[in-house]
Amino acid sequence: MSLYQSKLRNTGPKGAPIIDSLSVDRTMKTRMQNHGQSNLLREKTLTFEKELDQSRRTSLREEHELRKTILELRKPQNDSKEWLLKNHGRFNDWKQRERTKLEHKYSSRSSKEKVEN
């Protein structure tokens, strides 16, 4: 049977297609299934995008916190008063040692010059 004959067979008076309730039900059912599948797919896609966005946010937040902790660890802990007092004393000791070295150096020169003169 050719395509033309099958079309003629399914046509009513004046060439209008004969619509039986079974074919209507079948087409409506497939349309609804397709529509439902597309809705389901759309919902799955949206939930996946939301989860992906959420995971990106959490990963960015975790990365930010990690960078913050790295910066805090890199930052010298010289802000504490104990460190300042302790190392200020060391600095003063070092400065005093340098001063005494210089005084000794120059005083020994001056004493040698005095002896020679």
DSSP 11: B
Residue type, 71: L
Match 């302790």 to its residue by tokens: 86
In-domain check, residue 3: no
CA distance 47 to 42: 9
For residue 103, name the pLDDT band (cuts at 50, 70, 90).
confident
Q: How many domains does the chain have?
A: 2
Same domain, 25 and 61: yes
Residue 58 has pLDDT above 80, yes or no: yes
Same domain, 70 and 31: yes
In-domain check, residue 4: no
Q: What is the mean pLDDT of residues 7-20?
A: 62
In-domain check, residue 91: yes
- Per-residue model confidence as pLDDT tens digits over 27-53: 777 777 777 677 778 888 888 888 888
84 touches 78 (CB < 8 A): yes
In-domain check, residue 54: yes
In-domain check, residue 30: yes
Same domain, 51 and 92: no
Query: Quick one: which H or E segment has residue 10?
Result: none
Same domain, 93 and 56: no
pTM for this predicted structure: 0.31
The pLDDT assigned to 99 comes to 84
